[in-house]
């Protein structure tokens, strides 16, 4: 996908305010964009969005991609003389909340302020709610986000208040845009899920709903905390696993072979392979329900808006950041996987043949030695 087309699609998406249980703006943008591609969007009983791009061939092969529509954020629970009380949903260290700037959205209105106090969970490791002093009184139920500068494309990078996982949704949308008009022997499914940041809630609901055939392989697309070995600007990461689980061997081999072929075919294409264990992703939740999964990630700076800090701070909330070329190459890889997915079985057969070719003579030797031992 061309840079200008990708930016035109991605920039308004990342301007949508979002938080767990409050993904409406993102969902509306995705549904409208998909409709522009000539595709239908359905919604399950949990509010997850489901898109199916039909095959143009006769095969029944299917491949799915998944990303989540939420980002850590706030939800107003009360407004009183002491300020705006808001529940916190997501994973951010407590040190980052003191005096942090926040913004609440409701009905097109915005109220801005700063956090004055934060209440911790019983083990004192997580924030459960905050009190903020604001220039307005948002209604109960309003969503809140960090008050950060707008989306910025600069020096090859993308900075935004919420890249995890809106850019993951953007990869899937860009993939669907690129697939328009192409002959495709695989049916492509896309899932945009809710409330991932509070325990994969939408993905679990979708997995247990019975709407997905268990044979459906699913690629989880995430913006993952940058780890040693995963370098921004060196391409998307084929994620071998996360903090909680490892992914399906056949899917990972297929992703790797597809990426290696692209690297041979296209000058400048880059990719990486790594166990990204800075967090867990929806592939882990799907694993628990028996789905074959793979992971595709972009290395993310300032994960969950937490700028790097020393042991004594400063604890600064900042924009998240990814490399734009990593995003573009992730789209290229996802499109290529869709185009080549009917060859998944051939990939496995090739790897099996390679193993047999490399071990054939040695297998005969082992058998001969064993027979000699048995005769003795």
- Same domain for 82 and 66: no
- Same domain for 241 and 114: no
Given 109, 124, 146, which residue is the final one in a domain? 146
pLDDT of 91 over the 90 cut: yes
Predicted local confidence at residue 345, as pLDDT:
64
Decide if 92 is inside a domain: yes
Decide if 351 is inside a domain: no
- Same domain for 248 and 126: no
- Same domain for 136 and 217: no
For residue 86, count other CB atoms closer than 10 A to its CB. 27
pLDDT of 348 over the 70 cut: no
Read off the CATH number of the domain in which 180 is found.
3.40.630.10
- Same domain for 121 and 23: no
- Find the domain containing 95 and state its range: 73-146
Given 99, 126, 146, which residue is the final one in a domain? 146
> Residues of the chain with pLDDT > 70: what percent?
98
Decide if 362 is inside a domain: no
**CA 289 → CA 47, 214, 255, 351, distances in Å?**
20, 8, 22, 27
Strands 152-154 and 157-160, sheet pairing: antiparallel
- Same domain for 199 and 115: no
Read off the CATH number of the domain in which 121 is found.
2.40.30
- Same domain for 183 and 238: yes
Q: Is 235 left (phi over 0), alpha (psi -120 to 50) or beta?
A: left
Decide if 350 is inside a domain: no
Decide if 363 is inside a domain: no
Half-sphere exposure of 235 (CA within 13 A, CB side): 20
- Same domain for 283 and 161: yes
Q: Which residue in the block uniquely carries the two structure tokens 């031992």?
A: 373
Predicted local confidence at residue 343, as pLDDT:
64
Given 98, 117, 146, which residue is the final one in a domain? 146
Q: What is the pLDDT of the chain when averaged over all its residues?
A: 93
pLDDT tens string 180-202 = 989 888 899 999 999 999 999 99
User: Using 50, 70 and 90 to split pLDDT, how confident is the model at 2?
Assistant: confident
Decide if 335 is inside a domain: yes
CA distance 141 to 163: 23
- Same domain for 90 and 128: yes
- Show the tokens assigned to 24: 């409406």
Predicted local confidence at residue 315, as pLDDT:
93
User: Using 50, 70 and 90 to split pLDDT, how confident is the model at 241?
Assistant: very high
Q: What is the mean pLDDT of residues 84-103?
A: 96
User: Using 50, 70 and 90 to split pLDDT, how confident is the model at 127?
Assistant: very high
pLDDT tens string 79-90 = 999 999 999 999
- Same domain for 168 and 79: no
pLDDT tens string 287-346 = 999 999 999 999 999 999 999 988 888 999 999 999 999 999 999 999 999 999 876 667
Cross-strand pairs, 145: 103
Decide if 364 is inside a domain: no
Residues contacting 237, CB < 8 A, separation 6+: 224, 230, 271, 272, 273, 274, 276, 296, 297, 298, 299
Predicted local confidence at residue 141, as pLDDT:
96
Decide if 117 is inside a domain: yes
Predicted local confidence at residue 339, as pLDDT:
92
pLDDT of 59 over the 80 cut: no
Predicted local confidence at residue 361, as pLDDT:
81
Predicted local confidence at residue 365, as pLDDT:
85
CA distance 330 to 124: 38
Specify the number of domains making up the chain.
2
DSSP label at residue 268 = T
């Amino acid at each position: 996908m061309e840079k200008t087309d990708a930016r035109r699609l991605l920039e308004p998406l990342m301007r949508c305010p979002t938080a767990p249980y409050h993904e409406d703006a993102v969902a509306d943008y995705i549904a409208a964009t998909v409709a522009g591609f000539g595709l239908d969007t359905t919604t399950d009983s949990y509010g997850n969005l489901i898109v199916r791009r039909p095959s143009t061939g006769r095969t029944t092969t299917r491949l799915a991609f998944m990303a989540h529509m939420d980002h850590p954020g706030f939800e107003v629970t009360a407004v009183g003389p002491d300020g705006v009380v808001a529940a916190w949903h997501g994973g951010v260290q407590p040190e980052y909340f003191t005096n942090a700037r926040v913004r609440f959205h409701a009905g097109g209105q915005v109220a801005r302020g700063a956090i004055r106090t934060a209440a911790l969970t019983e083990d004192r490791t997580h924030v459960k709610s905050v009190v903020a002093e604001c220039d307005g009184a948002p209604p109960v139920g309003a969503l809140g986000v960090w008050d950060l500068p707008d989306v910025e494309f600069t020096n090859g990078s993308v900075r935004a208040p919420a890249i995890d996982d809106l850019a993951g949704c953007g990869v899937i949308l860009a993939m669907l845009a690129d697939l328009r008009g192409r002959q495709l022997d695989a049916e492509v499914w896309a899932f945009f899920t809710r409330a991932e940041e509070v325990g994969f809630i939408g993905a679990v609901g979708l997995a247990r709903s019975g709407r997905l055939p268990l044979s459906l392989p699913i690629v989880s697309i995430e913006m993952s905390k940058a780890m040693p070995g995963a370098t921004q600007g060196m391409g998307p990461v084929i994620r071998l696993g996360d903090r909680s689980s490892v992914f399906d061997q056949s899917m990972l081999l297929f992703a790797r072979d597809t990426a290696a072929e692209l690297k041979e075919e296209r000058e400048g294409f880059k990719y990486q392979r790594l166990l990204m264990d800075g967090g867990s992703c929806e592939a882990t939740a799907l694993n628990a329900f028996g789905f074959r999964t793979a992971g595709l990630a972009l290395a993310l700076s300032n994960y969950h808006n937490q700028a790097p800090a020393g042991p004594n701070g400063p604890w600064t909330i900042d924009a998240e950041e990814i490399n734009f070329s990593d995003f573009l190459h992730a789209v290229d890889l996802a499109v290529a996987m869709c185009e080549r997915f009917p060859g998944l079985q051939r990939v496995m057969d090739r790897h099996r043949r390679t193993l047999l070719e490399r071990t054939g003579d040695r297998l005969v030797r082992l058998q001969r030695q064993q027979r000699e031992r048995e005769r003795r």
